[in-house]
Each structure stands twice: as C-alpha cells, then as structure tokens.
Structure 1
C-alpha cells in the first residue's frame, strides 16, 4: 500500500511541477519564452542613426537608443535569471524592421521608429523614449528656408518613414512638383544631399542634426523649415505580448522617472559624440522633460 501511495504521490508531484513550469512559461509570454529557450536576445539596431543607434569608428553599435536598450537587456537577464544571456545585434532599416520583428528574427527593435496608430496593426510599442519634429536639412547657401521653397526641386528622404508619407502628400496637396527620392537609410539620404542630387533632406530634426555631423564641413548645413509633425520614438515589440511590454515599459519608466535619463541624454545630445566628437547641443525640450516625468506610449497620429 505504501508503494502505491508513493507512486501516486510521485505522479502528483511530477504533475504539479510540470503544471508550475507551464504556468511560469505562460507568465513569461512568447518573447521571453523564446529568449529563455534560445539563450539569446536578438536586438534590431540602426546603422547610421546618429546619435540614437549607429556604428562608431570601431564598428561597435552605440547611441542613445542603445544605452536605453541595454537597460532592457539587463532587466531581461534578471527576469530570466541568466546573467550570461547572449546578445545578438542585427542591423535593420525602415523597410525591413517590421517584417523582421514579426517573423521572429529580432525580439526588439531599438532604433528611431515612430509610434503611429497605423503601425499598431502590425506591432506594439514601448513607452516613448524621444520626441522629434520633421523638418529639412539644406545647404546654408541654398536659399531654402521652408517647405514652400521646395517647388520644382529634388527632395530626399528615407523610404518607409513618416516623413516620406508627409512629403509625398504635401507634394500632391500643394502642387509643388517636387522630385522625391526615397533611400534605404540616413547615410544614403545625406550622401544624396551632399553630392547635389537633392536640394533638401526631409526627416526628423534630431536625425538631420546627426546626419550633419557626418559631413566634412558640418557648418555648411542647417536644419530649417516649419515642423510638419511630432514624432514619438519608441522601441518596437511584437504584438499581443503584454508580459514583455510590461517588462520593457517598467524598465524605461524607472530610468526616466528616477532622473537617470538626464545623464544618458546629456551624454548623447549635449556632449561630443563619436565618430567625429561633434556636440549636437540639442537641449531637452519642455515637452520631452514632461514626458520623462510622466512616461506614456501614446501614438503620434
């Protein structure tokens, strides 16, 4: 009889353990389960989005977004109890960032993606990490001061961005007869501008300032034009995974509300940054400071 009871007890105990393991797995959600099983977190990054996510002179991925992403990576390691979790970095661009997240190639995108309602059908977003404005980068001697000056001129922007949608809609609505070139990334767009194939580069103001720093003569270029939209940058996550979003948002919120964000912001926007050690002198706006005090994940439009 004791043997039968022992066997039954062992079966019950085993069943309980399995049930607990399944419950724990369900609590982690699909992204953390994937990371836990593989022993790897795969991070999507940008190659030339200075100062958010880009390669420095030694081909290391650095930037404001990367510093905040590292906080998330550390939180994942703690959550899973895996301090030696492998981190794999995968470069992404405006066109492939959403498909690579959806198909599981990357687990999180830490770059410069704007949180929009239209994208919510495909992905989820973390709390906002930065607010930018869409404007123009032009040569200081171009005579271009605002969007109305672009009539019959060639304008370059990044494919798959909100800026591209805005400039193409403006071209039709205002009958500006612009020739619009869409490129794969910031480096290619600025090269198009710098070599004279375009007269203006439209994108988010802080990214335009970043592109300017890569020029041989940064002082030849100015950011100008009436802001056409407000762009809340956020980390992209897979849809329908509240457990992972809770971890990411909680991590970012702690960094922001504790004031730790101030030093990270100053490092990338108010001090010299690689590769050319140019200072953006990009002061934190009152809107951004308010956002850091009260984090949220509201879409731009």
Structure 2
C-alpha cells in the first residue's frame, strides 16, 4: 500500500469523523435524550417570590417559571415533537446546582445569579432580571444601612451570592456581625420577624416579594444601598451547546418580540398570589439596557 493511498485514506477518515462530530454537536446528547424520552424537567424554588414559588394550592408558579415554559415549548418545536411532557422538581439554594449538574433537571427556573464561579459547573442563558442585595428589616427598625450600630445579627440564605457579599462586607469593614445561614428565604424572613436577626440580606426584588406575601406586608421594609449587582438567569447544563443554543435563541426572540416584557409586567406590576398584592416594580434601567443587546456573557 502506497504512502499516498494511506494519506488519502486517513484524510477521508478524518473528514468522516469531523462530519460525524459536527452532526452530533448540532443535535447534542441532551437534545437526543429529550427527543427520545419526550420529557423535560424544570427545577423550581419554594419561596423565591415572584420568580419561582408555590401558590396557595402548592403549584409552582412565577416569572421564571413562565419564561421556562416558553423555553420548553421552543425545545419541543426544535425537535419537532408531537408532545413534550414537562415535570417539576423543587430545589433549594443548597442543591440547585447539583440538580442541573447531575441531570435531575434540565433548567433551573428561579433567581440564580450568573457568576464566574458557577459557570465552572453550569451554564446560563440571557438574564431575565438584574437586581442587587439589600436588607430586609422590621418597619420600625432604625437600621438603614449595613454598618448601622443597631445591626448585630444578619441572616442570609445558604449558598447564595448575597451571603458571600455579606461576609465580604463584614470582613472588609470589620463590622463583627453575627452572620446566620438560613436554609431558605422563608426561614430567613421568620428570623427577622421573631428577632433572631435584625436584617435579612438578599436580592432586593426577592425581599419586596417576600414582604408582600406576609400576613402584614407593611410590617417589613427594604433598606440600604446595593451590596451587589446580580444578573439572574435560567441555569442550564454545562457543555451542551446545542441545547443552550435553542434556549438562547428563544430568549432573544422573546426579548425582541416583547413577550418577555409582557411576562415581566404580569409578575412585577400586577397583583400576584398568594395575597394578590402588586410589587409595582417596573423594569430597571439596567435590565432595559441589557435587553437592547441581549447576551449571556456576564462579567
């Protein structure tokens, strides 16, 4: 066998392998599984109002859930499926990343910040919200900032960026706060209400939503300057470019068509469960600017 023939054979084999790899990438292992099983799992939260929470009947609802339902329909269209069974998995801040990493859910529909550390484990699509961490305190509290003398104990939710920011500020300013970790947002609010903590550090939009859902919404208030700037985005499995492209393309379509703005107004400007109270939070200038040039690339 000549060297020329061997070289040509190797070139042909390499070309076939490259073509196979390209075809596989265009479909993607995850999309193949979804197409075969006709099943998609959405991870949701228990009390991340108004993004992802349980209504009085125990059903998962919220802004991020509505966005994810649209994304699921896009996956169904892209795979030309006659049906796609969508199921729900409740997660917490502590296990949400693992749920996506281990394949127990295909999208996490909540209030998760897209940051560099998390991008080592998972992927994110275009943000659906931009917020920042502030403080929730009792309405009669004098506390109006993180370094107020009356603030001795502060709580935040385990495995969240506001908790990390709270620790960072406490260290840098030598505040010597007693920092408490709560399992979820609901428990953190209860700690403020019963006096175990004087403030709850969390994304301000979540704080407004949590306060609106309490028996007496006026008993709590949101105070202080932003401790962080948080781009919140739907979390996706890492290294699934074909699946991510379907999701990213649909996010951009919803933004450019104005559909996501309609979903936003439903959850942030109109009365919502459980108490039919409106948050009255129009889209911030940061979010409006992001939606002019939607991207998943976050600093």
The two structures have a TM-score, normalised by structure 1, of 0.89
1:50 corresponding residue in structure 2: 49
1:173 corresponding residue in structure 2: 172
1:97 corresponding residue in structure 2: 96
What is the aligned length? 281
Paired residues of 1:115 and 1:298 also in contact (CA < 8 A): no
Distance 1:275 1:21, change over 3 A: farther
1:129 corresponding residue in structure 2: 128
Please report the RMSD computed on the Cα atoms of aligned residues, expressed in angstroms.
1.7
2:105 corresponding residue in structure 1: 106
Paired residues of 2:151 and 2:199 also in contact (CA < 8 A): no
1:266 corresponding residue in structure 2: 265
Q: What is the CA–CA distance in structure 2 between the aligned matches of 1:34 and 1:252, rounded to whole Å?
A: 22
| CA deviations over 1:138-167 (Å, ceiling 9, x no partner) | 112110000111666111111000001111
SS of aligned partner of 2:263: helix
1:36 corresponding residue in structure 2: 35
1:81 corresponding residue in structure 2: 80
2:63 corresponding residue in structure 1: 64
Pairing 1:224-263 to 2, within 5 Å after superposition: 224-263=223-262
Paired residues of 2:166 and 2:227 also in contact (CA < 8 A): no
Distance 1:58 1:21, change over 3 A: farther
4+ residue stretches of structure 1 with deviation over 4 A? 20-26
Residue 25 of structure 1: CA displacement?
5.1
Residue 293 of structure 1: CA displacement?
2.0
1:210 corresponding residue in structure 2: 209
Unpaired stretches in structure 1, ≥5 consecutive residues: 1-19
1:5 corresponding residue in structure 2: none
Distance 1:294 1:22, change over 3 A: closer
Paired residues of 2:126 and 2:296 also in contact (CA < 8 A): yes
Which of 143-152 and 133-142 deviates more?
143-152
Paired residues of 2:25 and 2:241 also in contact (CA < 8 A): no
Q: What is the CA–CA distance in structure 1 between the aligned matches of 2:247 and 2:135, rounded to whole Å?
A: 32
Which of 241-250 and 36-45 deviates more?
36-45
SS of aligned partner of 2:77: helix
2:148 corresponding residue in structure 1: 149
Residue 223 of structure 1: CA displacement?
0.7
